Chain A
Amino acid sequence: MKYLHLVWAALRRRKVRTGLTLLSIVVAFLLFGLLESVNSVFGEAGHTVGSAHRLITISRTGLFTPMPISLEAQIRAVPGVEAVTGYTFFGGSYQNPKQVIGSMFAVGRNFFSLYPELKVAPAALRQFDATQTGAIVGAALAQRYHWKVGEQIPIKAMIYPRKGGSYTWTFDLVGIYHARSPFEEQDFLLRLRYFNEAAAFGNNRVGLFVEKIGNPQGASGVAAAIDALSNNSGHETKTQSDSAFAVDFLSQFVDIGLIMHAIMGAVFFTLMLLTGNTMAQAVRERTGELAVLKTLGFTNGTVLSLVLAESVLLVVLGGALGLGAAALAVHLLQHQIGAALPMMPVGGAIWLRGGTLMLLIGLLVGALPARRGMRLRIVDALAGR
């Protein structure tokens, strides 16, 4: 630690070069932060508070193929299932066809007890139970359209007409729920009971069942028991864990992970080359100085660690600035432009991965120049050979 000023002075020796190298490190880690923020939506999908205790049942035929609601009572009776709720995809638009509300669901009354990570006030929940046309929406969605509790919201349904043929459904907003990130606050939830009574078709069929199980270790057995209920019927089901379901669903959009990793690979390869080149230059220039340090009694080990410290400091400094910028950018993007962006806030996990990467890259690019510094022979170096 006492040599910090020495390392710092070495970095300040060529301000333009240090500044430019810093800039490219900042940029690399900014990109790393942004891509990881998108990536963790995919990685952490389904890894929420209640998810280990949750199973999802869909039709074996495919997502959004409706199943009879009568299955709900049968599933409830399966040993190991503590609670179950069915819900169905609704889908509609607000004011004009362009403002599509993508995740609109007709949900059963105990929906929120199966998703404890969605926080909603008990009073709002009672109101939801009591109001036939009630709706609860995510905070980010409400903010986007400036909806207030108590307001009536006319929605043009994408698929389901009401009895009588009209596609316009009017809902009373009774509550707003909050979640970890704006990305999860996009749902518009209406009552399944209202849907079953008022829809012209599609009644008494649901697209998904969600089950709460007591013991996550027994999940596969419970899932098999649920699927056995409908074996050889016209509506066979497929039950899997919440996270497996999310991975299945998301993996259908191009292999996002592969592309992200390819980009990051290109970025960091370039970064290593650049920083490595800078460090090599820095050590070559200072050959004489390093020799003087050794003459003064600095050991080989100290010179080695001085150079390593310099490169690590440079990378960590740039990396921290870059990740900070990424965190700020994600925050601004979500709160200013659109909360629907599939991005998670830059959190502890990303900082941890980023920090490890910084140290690793710092040590790696410093290694060769540092070895050169350590092996320096005083006589040769001072003579300029």
Chain B
Amino acid sequence: MLKRMLSGLGVAVAVIGAVALTLVLPWMIIGALVMLLGLWLALTRMGRLSGSVTASGMATLPQRWGGASVVIVGIAGVVGVLVALLAMASGYQATFQATGSADRAIVLRSGAISESSSNLDQASVMLIGQKPQVAHDASGAPLISPEVVVAASLSKKGSGRDGSVTIRGVGARVWAVRSGVKLIAGRRFTPGMRELDAGRGAVREFRHTSIGSSVTINGQPWKVVGEFAHAGAHDSELWGDVNMVATAFHRGASVQSVTVRLTGAQAIGAFKAALASDPRLKVQAQTTRAYYAKQSKSMTRVIRVLATVVGAIMAIGAMAGALNSMYAAVAARTREVATLRAIGFRGGVVVFSILAETLLLALGGGIVGAVVAWVLFHHFTASTMGPNFSAVVFQFRVTPTLIGKGLKWALAIGFVGGLFPALRAARMPVTDGLREL
């Protein structure tokens, strides 16, 4: 009795340890382990025996496709949902990461957590531009872009329903400040005119944003004169002259933020210190990389937690399904297993063969799930409400890392689902097994 309890405890510890190990271990080590296993199968007597028993077991799979498909589909479901949700989080994060860079700084009022909660007067903008860490163009003008961000309602292309688009009022030198933004058609807006350049993502999402059309904002027409592309969040924005946008939205003379191009990435420390030591300024600076990473953090975390919780709940279901199927498979093969044991095969060989079969099925399910997620969701374009209460267009990204993570989950589920039925098969008294019909 005590022995049985102890061995039960041992199995439980082994299961938890193996699952934790699978989820934590990098693929390099898992690959090495698989190689070792392959060598063992090919080179040792025990290994060759295990291999042939596994193969003969797998040969009966077509007769119990019902059970096998439960394992595969169940695990495919878990992996598919997990990978799709994680792809959404990583796509969102990547969009914001691509928006920032290390040698651009954004200056906000001190205490403000985002552009929409910040405001700076014209005097501050001047002072910020005079700091020595700010880069200058050929004509000697400081590379700064005073900006305001407002949201406007435009009707969406698909549904016709109103959605919010970010209109960013930018300084005349913004093209040099944010050099990641490339004009792909048309021309730049003329300062002092009601003209806009539209991001590619915004053009795809909203009506009346292609070159030549005009967008009506507060009863006044704004002409779209150019289209630009950007790898990050600016792709979903419309850009116009900062003074014109501020006037149209009753913002007065103040702006919300100033983005500056620094002389180099190492200048940020000195720039921060220069701003802090100026008694006329109440502002704070950070690199745009740090700023945009912060803006996407909470949303990314929410999606990741959601993915893990939903995935874990589904994994329990898939595990129950796998256990059920494998118990049934073991029951169906009772006589076969007992015969093997009677002619001298060890219990370990039986455990190995059933475990290996379940892991292979699980891996198959994981691959199916990952492929489905990849086909349906890779580069799937979605839009969501960004930090400025307006649309951010982003693409799901099904990366190899995410697929790897999904496959690890699949293997962990398969391991638990196969281990207990395998142990039952190995522990069954041979005489009982042989009598079974």
Contacts and interface: CB of A to CB of B under 8 A. Distances in A.
Interface of A: 16-17, 20-21, 23-24, 27-28, 30-31, 34, 59-66, 91, 93, 97, 100, 156, 158-159, 167, 201, 205, 232-236, 238, 248, 251-255, 259, 262-263, 266-267, 269-271, 273-274, 277-278, 280-281
Contact of A61 (B119, B153, B384): B153
20 contacts: A16-B327, A17-B327, A27-B320, A62-B153, A64-B389, A65-B151, A65-B152, A65-B249, A97-B113, A100-B113, A205-B250, A248-B161, A248-B162, A254-B88, A259-B88, A267-B317, A273-B73, A274-B74, A274-B324, A277-B67
Nearest to A25: B317
Those 3 A-B pairs whose CB atoms lie nearest each other, nearest first? A158-B117, A27-B317, A24-B317
Nearest to B92: A254
A61 B327 contact: no
B218 A23 contact: no
A270 B218 contact: no
A62 B314 CA distance: 40
Contact of A263 (B73, B81, B150): B81
A61 B152 contact: yes
B361 to A, nearest CB: 14
Contact of A266 (B77, B384, B389): B77
Given A62-B151, A97-B113, A263-B81, A270 B164 contact: no
A236 B310 CA distance: 44
A273 B163 CA distance: 40
B383 interface: yes
A27 B314 contact: yes
B117 A271 contact: no
Interface in B295-335: 310, 313-314, 316-318, 320-321, 323-325, 327-328
Contacts of B320: 20-21, 23-24, 27, 274
Interface in B111-151: 111-113, 116-117, 119, 150-151
Interface string B138-181: 00000000000011110000000111100000000000000000
A61 B321 contact: no
A263 B310 contact: yes
Given A27-B317, A60-B218, A269-B77, A253 B384 contact: yes
Contacts of A64: 151, 389
Given A64-B389, A66-B250, A167-B111, A20 B323 contact: yes
Counting chain B CB atoms within 10 Å of each CB, the highest count among A236, A252, A254, A255 belongs to A252
Contacts of B119: 159
Given A17-B327, A158-B112, A266-B80, A27 B218 contact: no
Contacts of B88: 254, 259
A234 B248 CA distance: 9
B344 interface: no
A31 B151 contact: no
A267 B252 CA distance: 54
B349 to A, nearest CB: 24
Nearest to A263: B81
Given A252-B385, A254-B382, A278-B324, A63 B77 contact: no
B221 to A, nearest CB: 13
Interface of B: 66-67, 69-70, 73-74, 77, 80-81, 84-85, 88, 111-113, 116-117, 119, 150-153, 161-164, 217-219, 249-250, 252, 310, 313-314, 316-318, 320-321, 323-325, 327-328, 382-385, 389-391
B198 to A, nearest CB: 16
Contact of B316 (A17, A23, A91): A23
Given A60-B153, A62-B152, A270-B318, A233 B219 contact: yes
Given A277-B70, A277-B325, A267 B151 contact: no
B326 to A, nearest CB: 10
Nearest to A18: B324
Contact of B317 (A16, A232, A271): A271
B113 A274 contact: no
Nearest to B152: A62
Given A27-B316, A30-B313, A91 B152 contact: no
Contacts of B81: 262-263, 266
Nearest to B315: A27
Contacts of B390: 62
B167 to A, nearest CB: 9
A30 B150 CA distance: 41
Contacts of A281: 66, 328
Contacts of B325: 277
B368 to A, nearest CB: 12
A44 B386 CA distance: 23
A24 B74 CA distance: 10
Nearest to B321: A274
Given A24-B317, A62-B151, A277 B66 contact: yes
Counting chain B CB atoms within 10 Å of each CB, the highest count among A16, A24, A159, A251 belongs to A24
A347 to B, nearest CB: 21
Contact of A201 (B70, B249, B252): B252
B227 to A, nearest CB: 22
Contact of A65 (B80, B150, B384): B150
Contact of B219 (A17, A234, A274): A234
A252 B219 CA distance: 24
A158 B113 CA distance: 8
B161 A251 contact: yes
Nearest to A168: B111
Nearest to A157: B117
A234 B69 CA distance: 64
A262 B80 CA distance: 10
Contacts of A59: 218
A17 B70 CA distance: 14
Given A60-B153, A93-B113, A277-B325, 17 more contacts: A20-B321, A20-B327, A21-B324, A24-B74, A28-B317, A62-B152, A62-B153, A65-B150, A201-B252, A234-B219, A235-B218, A251-B163, A263-B310, A267-B77, A267-B314, A267-B317, A273-B73
Contacts of B385: 252-253
B316 A270 contact: no
Nearest to A230: B219
A269 B324 CA distance: 17
B63 to A, nearest CB: 13
A202 to B, nearest CB: 10
B248 to A, nearest CB: 8
A321 B320 CA distance: 16
Given A24-B317, A31-B314, A273-B70, A61 B218 contact: yes
